[in-house]
Structure 1
Amino acid sequence: MITVDNLVKSFSSRAGSVRALNGVSLEVQAGSVCGVVGPSGAGKSTLARCIALLERPDSGAIRVDGTDLVSLDGSRLRAARRQIGVVPQGDSLLRQRTAAGNIALPLESAGVDGPVRRKRVGELLDLVGLTDKAASYPDQLSGGQRQRVAVARALAANPAVLLADEPTSALDPETTGSVLTVLDRARAELGVTVLVVTHDMAVVRRICDDVAVLEDGKVVEHGKVLDLVSDADSRTAATLLPGLDQGEGLIGTHDRVADVVLVGFAAVGALLPEASNRFGVELAVLGGGLTRLGETPVARFRVGINGERADSALEWISEAGAVVRRTPKGPQGVAA
């Protein structure tokens, strides 16, 4: 587990001191993938660099499996750093080394002998799907392949934590998918805890269990992705779920109108039709749509309901586990 407690980090500039992190606190569960998102200048990369101890925070604690890394120095600090693999932003591979040679670099530095080193490099090339590119140099690889080699290199020393800073920046959607698949495999097959710094919410949608939203050096939202999308007022829901702008002109043609969030295969596929049949109401989808968060389908619909038992249908949908928020349409516009 990674625990960040009240982290503060400032930098000096010509205009004076700039506080990049202002009391940041968050927890990342072991074996999970957490996305750190926010606008440029929010403090995302500074947070990642502090967790990797590439930057020393001014104050606060950074604990990995209960050990406060900020309090360490000397050999204990070096040992702790080996437990954290870092995928830096941008292309970081050495041009004079092959893909295999780049992956082997941390193992060479640690004094790992040849046979063990070659075996580990082979395992990692297989993990990232680049066994056939072992002898290729970086300039012979695509941008996505170079990023996958960088991930393999960061995993070479069997770290407990992997920090990836904007790992999909400037990559096309297909290439982005291949890099994210590798990060997800690292978590699933190696048990690595992954912290991904990104400006792209599609990364969160694809692989993240948790998300922390930074703004002006502060955490303004943090939690499990599936919990946050169930909160209609959360920034995560506003960004990840389909929009509801469609159907505004149809609201007045229905007895009741509500915004409904459905999570999971059973809810998305059957809950609304079952409510319609159970209560004898006409139910129409006015807006919204379906998306996928990891392997979980999630829908947000604006629905219109006509019939005497419209209120009962909405109450039943809510009791069945959906999130229901009635859209104002006269005096009945209250939350279910």
Structure 2
Amino acid sequence: MITVENLVKTFPSRSGNVVALDGVSLEVPQGTVCGVVGQSGAGKSTLARCIALLEKPDSGAIRVDGTDLVRLNGAALRAARRQIGVVPQGDSLLRQRTVAGNVALPLESAGVARLQRRARVLELLDLVGLADKAGAYPDQLSGGQRQRVAIARALAATPSVLLADEPTSALDPETTASVLTVLDRARAELGVTVLIVTHDMDVVRRVCDDVAVLERGRVVEHGKVLELISGDSRTAAALLPQTDQTTGLSSVDSNVGYGRYDGIAEVVLVGFAAVGALLPEASSRFGVNLALLGGGLTRLGDTPVARFRVGLTGDRADAALDFISEHGGVVRRRTREEVAA
């Protein structure tokens, strides 16, 4: 588990101190993947570097598995740092070493015996899908393969926490998917707590359990992804389909005004059962016609999620919306004026 409390970090400049982190607090539960997102300059990379103690904060606490790293020094600090694997931004592999040699580097530094090193390296290369590249050199690999080697190297010393700074930057979609799969496997198979620093909300959509949104050095939103999408949040706005788009919704007649409906709402549905059956069941049970006016489907990890704007026609339109809400859907009623605005 990672716990950050009131973290402050400033950097000197000619015009005075620049505040990179301004009282940042967040908690990442053990065995989860948390995305730290925000625009350039929001403080994401500084936060990751502080957690890894590559930068020392001005004040605040950083606890990893209950130990406050800020208060440590000497041998205790070195031992704590070994519990944190870091995947730095950009290509960080040593060109003169093979793939296996790069992964083995932290184990050599720790004095691990040769046979143990070999077994650990082979285990990790199998985890990242590169067992057949053990003898290759970094320049013989693609960008995505080099990034997966960097992840294997960061996992070599069996850390409890893995920090990945923009791990999919400049990668194509297929390669991005392979890197994110490796990070998810590290969590699932090794029990590692993963913190991903990224500007790409699609990374959150694919693998993150939790998300923290940074803006100007402050956390402006933090929580479980599936809980945040149920509210009026930045995460929901970024991850869910837009309800003013009608692509693929054949039931929409763009020439018909909203005045024809007895009820209009935006509905968020989470999970296979809700997405597949809840709207048709509400329509049938209460004898209302239900039209999809916008929105669509997406996936958050393995969970299907839908956000629709719906129009209902019938005397029991309000009862149908209540039914959807009572059975797990998130319903926000909209007036015709709000929708048309």
TM-score between the two structures when normalised by the length of structure 1: 0.97
- Give the corresponding residue for 1:252: 259
**For 1:169-220, what per-residue CA distance to the aligned partner results, in whole angstroms no more than 9, with x for missing partners?**
0000000000000000000000000000000001000000000000000000
- The aligned length equals 331
- Give the corresponding residue for 1:187: 187
Deviation at 1:330, TM superposition (A): 6.1
- Give the corresponding residue for 1:290: 297
CA RMSD of aligned residues (A): 1.2
Partner secondary structure for residue 16 of structure 1: coil
- Give the corresponding residue for 2:249: none
Distance 1:54 1:330 in 2: 53
Divergent runs of 4+, >6 A? none
- Cα gap change, 1:273/1:10 in structure 2, threshold over 3 Å: closer, same or farther? same
Unaligned runs of 5+ in 1: none
- Give the corresponding residue for 1:168: 168
- Give the corresponding residue for 1:274: 281
Distance 2:329 2:197 in 1: 30
Distance 2:171 2:151 in 1: 15
- Cα gap change, 1:135/1:250 in structure 2, threshold over 3 Å: closer, same or farther? farther
- Give the corresponding residue for 1:235: 234
Unaligned runs of 5+ in 2: 247-253
Partner secondary structure for residue 12 of structure 2: strand
Matched, 1:53 2:53: yes
2:209 is matched by which residue type in structure 1? D
**For 1:113-150, what per-residue CA distance to the aligned partner results, in whole angstroms no more than 9, with x for missing partners?**
11000000000000000011111111000000000000
Distance 1:251 1:64 in 2: 53
Distance 2:156 2:257 in 1: 57
Deviation at 1:16, TM superposition (A): 1.6
1:187 is matched by which residue type in structure 2? R
Contact in 2 for aligned 1:250/1:286 (Cα 8 Å) = no
- Give the corresponding residue for 2:332: 325
1:274 is matched by which residue type in structure 2? E
Deviation at 1:327, TM superposition (A): 1.3
2:238 is matched by which residue type in structure 1? T
Deviation at 1:6, TM superposition (A): 0.2
Distance 2:257 2:18 in 1: 49
TM-score between the two structures when normalised by the length of structure 2: 0.95
Distance 2:87 2:127 in 1: 16
Distance 1:65 1:89 in 2: 25
Partner secondary structure for residue 288 of structure 1: strand
Partner secondary structure for residue 203 of structure 2: helix
Matched, 1:305 2:312: yes
